[in-house]
């Protein structure tokens, strides 16, 4: 359902109207470091939900950012490599590689030493890829204006160069050599290590705030809110909280019974509001931390030692929930807050809410830790944490407010008993499973290969089988009441846990396990990176066949395709078929999804093979154009590769620069129907194809 909603929103935003997209906005500045040394700073502001890719993203996935320093020869030399701000890493299950990308903001810096004192400007050319559900190829030319450079004679340089400076220069030269050698090693571990050395940027000179909030759309925020709301409600059904509901409600009912019903109801509402407020206040320090250090959430999510700390905390909480010991707040603090709750007015109600939070900490603490730790272990940002705390606090406060406002519902509450401890134990098992996510993240960062995908899945299978056995009454724990029979609800929950365990088993042999996508380590971090018996579903595009038309190639599923617009159009006229233009990319994830999930369907495949001529134009093809075919676009961009040529065609002719993008075209190059973008619905895509073909035949 979540995927469906995401696809729907993206279809509305991208497919509804073709348009020229420019999701990355740039600002630049020059920082003078000495008379002849400068730092070129390029700041990128990236639209919400879009990403651009790092210079160091591994081969086989998205295209990396590439910098060219155009007028360097005879004018200046580069000091070291181009440095960039902290990137994020995500596994691409289509290309089966990790990809390094930026969201919201990015910063690139390059130090130069000027050798031509008359130099007035530096030209930097950048090519990069930006993606959302579709990908676009972008390029920019930056012009950096330099201040006047004073002449410095060689004699002066020699007299001012102390032995210390000479030693520093020698150290810098050695470091540059080491950096170059490290970059030549393409292994993931060393690339990551090298990136850690260069990712730190000079925040004092940055003009753009480098916020690391995840580009979560409204759907993800609401999902997080609802999940934490449910967690807060569930926590009320624990031994520390549930017995307090009738006690608290009776206090407010007593006020109503004394003749002031409005005051009683208002106080009940304020009690709930204060519970929510206290939990939201817990998140506020993280906003301060983020303002002081914008990278804090990324650092937390990738710091192996912090993740190990979270792992230990979660294991301790889980053991507590299972009944080994109780985690409680200091009794002196609880007593002091309880005494303060005797004050009248809203201040007394506030301290009543605080008393509830303190005395119920042994049950709410582990769940609260799961909420905070779960968000902090991502790069979701302080705003996402506040949303989570708001949901959790509201969930905890909800029963108290409802029963105070509608006391007749109290009769429907179950009586306290052994089932409360069962709820607590179930939380313990879930907490234990979540703990290994943190250990897994530390293991991935450090490349220990202790908790590879198969080991992680085995641990989860064992935990959820253990939970199933507990719910079936085959395992008893310290605080469990004698069990003569199991309830229907307990039986059903046990079956769910057992079914989930069985679902996980194929993951040991490479099954994707979409339900828990993102929790286990990626397929590349396993004993069988491609899964046992893996075989690519895509046809080798280099396959040759004598029956192919001239200039044609085999595309996915052996569909005959042309990679040149003019050659494909000429063939379409020859065989009298409409043209299907496919603006695509070698690194376009959703282009591959369309090919694998839509084009592979028999009803679509037959149309592509028999009723249209497919022209696939790869906008990220970096093959050089012949010299006589190179040109400058209307906006002054240099068109020197086939990819740029096809990208410029999409922009100038179709006013769109997204991939995938599909056009059904007549021989006079007019459209047969309205172009579409990413369309994962097979029936919708088929209807679109049939509409265009029918218009061609009229």
**Residues 6 or more apart whose Cβ sits within 8 Å of residue 482:** none
What is the spatial distance between Cα 547 and Cα 531, in angstroms, rounded to a whole number? 36
> What angle (nearest 5°) sits at the alpha carbon of residue 19, between those of residues 13 and 23?
75
What is the pLDDT averaged over residues 548-575? 90
112 vs 484, higher pLDDT: 112
Q: What is the dihedral of CA 139, 51, 12, 658, to 10 degrees?
A: 30
Q: How far apart are CA 314 and CA 432, in angstroms?
A: 7
**Structure token pair of residue 665:** 């075209």
Give the pLDDT of residue 539: 42
Which residue, among 314, 286, 295, 319, has the nearest Cα to 438 in the 3D structure? 314
Q: How far apart are CA 31 and CA 109, in angstroms?
A: 10
3-state secondary structure of 667: coil
Tokens of 585: 């990319």
What is the tens place of the pLDDT at every residue in 673-687? 999 988 888 999 999
**DSSP conformation class of 481:** P
Question: Which tokens is 413 given?
Answer: 């509450």
Bridge-based pairing of strands 638-639 and 105-114 is unpaired
Tell me what pLDDT residue 99 has. 86
Burial class (CB in 10 A: 0-12, 13-18, 19+), 672: buried
Calpha distance 511→531 (Å, rounded)? 7
pLDDT, tens digit, for every residue of 185-196?
443 333 343 334
Q: Residue 53 in 3-state DSSP?
A: strand
Mean pLDDT value of segment 175-193? 43
236/363 Cα distance (integer angstroms): 9
| 552-697 under CATH 3.40.30.10, yes or no | yes
C-alpha 271/C-alpha 350 separation (Å) is 7
Whether residue 329 is predicted with pLDDT greater than 80 in this model: the reply is: no
The arithmetic mean of pLDDT across residues 464-473, rounded, is 95
DSSP-derived secondary structure letter, 505: G
Relative to beta strand 560-562, strand 135-145 is: unpaired
The region of weakest confidence among 154-158, 513-517, 665-669, 680-684 is 154-158
Omega of the bond leading into 660 within 30 degrees of 0 (cis): yes
Residue spans in the chain of domains classed CATH 2.60.40.1250:
24-204
Q: Selecting from 2.60.40.10, 2.60.40.1250, 3.20.20.140, 3.40.50.300, what CATH number does the domain 24-204 have?
A: 2.60.40.1250
Distance, in Å, from the CA atom of 615 to the CA atom of 67, rounded to the nearest integer, reads 31
Residue 483 confidence (pLDDT): 81
What is the C-alpha to C-alpha distance for residues 595 and 8, in angstroms, rounded to an integer?
Answer: 19
> 649 in the Ramachandran plot: left (φ > 0), alpha (ψ -120 to 50) or beta?
alpha
Q: Which pair of tokens denotes residue 651? A: 């922009």
Q: Reduce the DSSP state of residue 451 to 3 states and report it.
A: coil
Question: If you ran DSSP here, which 8-state letter would residue 497 be given?
Answer: H
Q: Does residue 149 sit in helix, strand or coil?
A: coil
> 3-class SS at 47?
coil
- How would you classify the pairing of strands 613-618 and 579-584? parallel
Alpha helices in 293-303 (DSSP H): 296-302
Q: How many residues does the chain have?
A: 698
State the pLDDT confidence band at 210, using cuts at 50, 70 and 90: very low
Q: Whole-angstrom Cα distance, residue 76 to residue 118?
A: 11
Helix (H, G, I), strand (E, B), or coil: what is residue 541?
coil
DSSP β-ladder status, 560-562 and 613-618? parallel
Evaluated on CA atoms 29, 33, 34, 40, the torsion sign reads: negative
pLDDT of 159 > 90? The answer is no
Question: What is the DSSP code (8-state) at residue 204?
Answer: G
Mean of the per-residue pLDDT values of the chain: 77
- Are 36 and 113 a contacting pair, CB within 8 Å? yes
Pick 376 or 367 by higher pLDDT.
Answer: 367
Q: Which residue has the higher pLDDT, 330 or 34?
A: 34
User: Among 149, 121, 126, which Cα is nearest to 137's?
Assistant: 126
pLDDT digits (tens, 9 = 90+) for 655-676: 877 778 999 999 999 999 999 9
Contact partners, residue 375, CB within 8 Å, separation at least 6: 224, 384, 385, 388
Q: Indicate the SS3 state at residue 666.
A: coil
- Pairing mode of beta strands 88-92, 97-103: antiparallel
CATH 3.40.30.10 domain span(s) along the chain:
552-697
Tokens 């052994």, located at residue: 418
Q: Which of 113-127, 413-427, 431-445 has the lowest mean pLDDT?
A: 413-427
- Give the per-residue pLDDT at 522: 66
Give me the pLDDT at residue 691, please: 93
- The contacts of residue 412 (CB under 8 Å, 6+ apart) are none
Among 372, 367, 359, 363, which residue's Cα sits nearest to residue 330?
Answer: 359
Cβ-based neighbours of 83, under 8 Å, separated by 6 or more: 108, 109, 110, 198, 199, 201
CA of 254: how far to CAs of 260, 274, 338, 353, 375, in Å?
Answer: 9, 20, 19, 18, 40
pLDDT above 70: residue 350? yes
Question: How far apart are the C-alpha atoms of 94 and 496, rounded to whole Å?
Answer: 30
- The H-assigned helical ranges of 526-637 are 565-575, 589-593, 602-610
Nearest to 440 by CA among 307, 273, 333, 323: 307
CA–CA–CA angle 425, 429, 435 (5° rounding) = 135
Q: How far apart are the first and last CA of the chain?
A: 40
| Mean pLDDT in residue range 502-518 | 82
416 or 558: which carries more pLDDT confidence?
558
The residues with which 162 forms a beta bridge, in sequence order, are none
* C-alpha span between 518 and 512 (Å, rounded): 10
How many other CB atoms are there within 10 angstroms of residue 198's CB atom?
A: 18
Which candidate, 489, 522, 490, 488, places its Cα nearest to that of 507?
522
Which two three-digit tokens encode residue 34? 């000495």
**70's tokens:** 């155009």
Contact 311, 369 (CB under 8 A): no
Q: Which residue has the tokens 């206090």?
A: 251
Number of other residues whose CB lies within 10 A of the CB of residue 150: 8
> Does pTM surpass 0.85?
no
| Confidence grade of residue 45 (pLDDT, cut at 50, 70, 90) | very high
Distance (Å, rounded) from C-alpha 669 to C-alpha 653? 10
Query: Would you state the pLDDT for residue 106?
Result: 93
Q: Give CA–CA dist 662/658, Å, rounded.
A: 10
The backbone torsions φ and ψ at residue 102, rounded to the nearest 5 degrees and listed phi first, read: -115, 145
- CA separation, residue 522 to residues 220, 299, 308, 453, 679 (Å): 22, 20, 19, 7, 27
């Amino acid at each position: 359902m979540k995927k469906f909603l995401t696809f729907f929103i993206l279809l509305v935003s991208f497919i509804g109207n073709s348009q020229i997209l420019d999701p990355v906005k740039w600002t630049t500045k020059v920082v003078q470091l000495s008379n002849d040394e400068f730092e070129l700073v390029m700041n990128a502001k990236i639209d919400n939900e879009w990403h651009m890719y790092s210079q160091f993203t591994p081969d086989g996935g998205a295209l990396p950012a590439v910098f060219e320093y155009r007028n360097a020869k005879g004018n200046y030399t580069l000091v070291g490599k181009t440095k960039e701000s902290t990137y994020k890493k995500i596994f691409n299950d289509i290309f089966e590689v990790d990809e390094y990308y930026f969201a919201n903001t990015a910063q690139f810096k390059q130090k130069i030493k000027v050798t031509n004192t008359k130099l007035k400007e530096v030209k930097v050319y950048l090519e990069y890829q930006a993606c959302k559900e579709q990908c676009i190829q972008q390029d920019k030319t930056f012009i950096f204006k330099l201040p006047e450079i004073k002449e410095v004679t060689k004699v002066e340089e020699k007299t001012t160069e102390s032995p210390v400076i000479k030693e520093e220069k020698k150290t810098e030269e050695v470091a540059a050599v080491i950096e170059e050698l490290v970059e030549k090693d393409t292994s993931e571990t060393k690339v990551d290590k090298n990136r850690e050395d260069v990712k730190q940027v000079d925040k004092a000179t940055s003009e753009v705030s480098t916020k690391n909030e995840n580009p979560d759309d409204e759907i993800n925020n609401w999902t997080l809110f609802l999940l934490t709301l449910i967690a807060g409600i569930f926590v009320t059904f624990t031994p520390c909280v549930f017995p307090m509901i009738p006690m608290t409600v009776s206090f407010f009912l007593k006020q109503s019974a004394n003749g002031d019903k409005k005051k009683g109801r208002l106080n009940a509402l304020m009690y709930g509001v204060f519970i929510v407020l206290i939990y939201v206040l817990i998140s506020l320090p993280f906003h301060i931390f983020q303002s002081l250090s914008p990278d804090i959430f990324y650092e937390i999510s990738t710091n192996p030692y912090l993740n190990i700390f979270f792992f230990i905390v979660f294991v301790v909480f889980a053991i507590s929930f299972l009944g080994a010991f109780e985690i409680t707040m200091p009794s002196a603090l609880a007593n002091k807050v309880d005494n303060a709750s005797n004050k009248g007015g809203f201040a007394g109600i506030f301290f009543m809410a605080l008393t509830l939070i303190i005395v119920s900490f042994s049950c709410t603490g582990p769940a609260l830790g799961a909420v905070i730790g779960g968000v902090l272990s991502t790069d979701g940002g302080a705003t996402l944490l506040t949303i989570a705390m708001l949901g959790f606090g509201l969930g905890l406060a909800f029963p108290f407010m409802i029963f105070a406002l509608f006391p007749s519902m109290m009769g429907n509450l179950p009586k306290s008993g052994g089932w409360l401890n069962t709820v607590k134990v179930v939380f313990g098992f879930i907490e234990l499973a979540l703990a290994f996510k943190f250990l897994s993240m530390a293991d991935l960062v450090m490349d220990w290969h202790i908790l590879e995908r198969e080991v992680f899945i085995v641990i989860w299978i064992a935990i959820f089988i253990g939970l199933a056995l507990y719910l079936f009454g085959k395992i008893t724990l310290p605080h469990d009441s004698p069990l003569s029979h199991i309830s229907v609800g307990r039986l059903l929950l046990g079956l769910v846990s057992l079914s989930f365990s069985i679902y996980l088993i194929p993951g040991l042999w490479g099954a994707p396990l979409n339900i828990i996508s993102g929790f286990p380590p990626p397929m590349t971090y396993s004993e069988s990176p491609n899964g046992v018996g893996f075989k690519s579903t895509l046809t080798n595009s280099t396959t040759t066949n004598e029956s192919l038309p001239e200039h044609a190639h085999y595309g996915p599923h052996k569909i005959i395709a042309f990679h040149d617009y003019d050659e494909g159009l000429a063939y379409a006229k020859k065989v009298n078929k409409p043209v299907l233009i496919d603006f695509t990319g070698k690194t376009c994830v959703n282009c591959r999804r369309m090919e694998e999930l839509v084009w592979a369907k028999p009803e679509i495949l037959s149309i592509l093979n028999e009723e249209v001529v497919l022209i696939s134009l790869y906008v990220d093809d970096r093959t050089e154009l012949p010299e006589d075919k190179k040109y400058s676009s209307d906006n002054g961009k240099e068109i020197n590769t086939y990819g740029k040529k096809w990208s410029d065609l999409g922009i100038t002719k179709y006013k769109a620069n997204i991939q995938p993008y599909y056009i059904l075209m007549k021989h006079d190059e007019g459209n047969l129907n309205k172009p579409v973008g990413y369309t994962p619905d097979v029936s919708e895509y088929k209807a679109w194809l049939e509409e265009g073909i029918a218009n061609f035949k009229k």
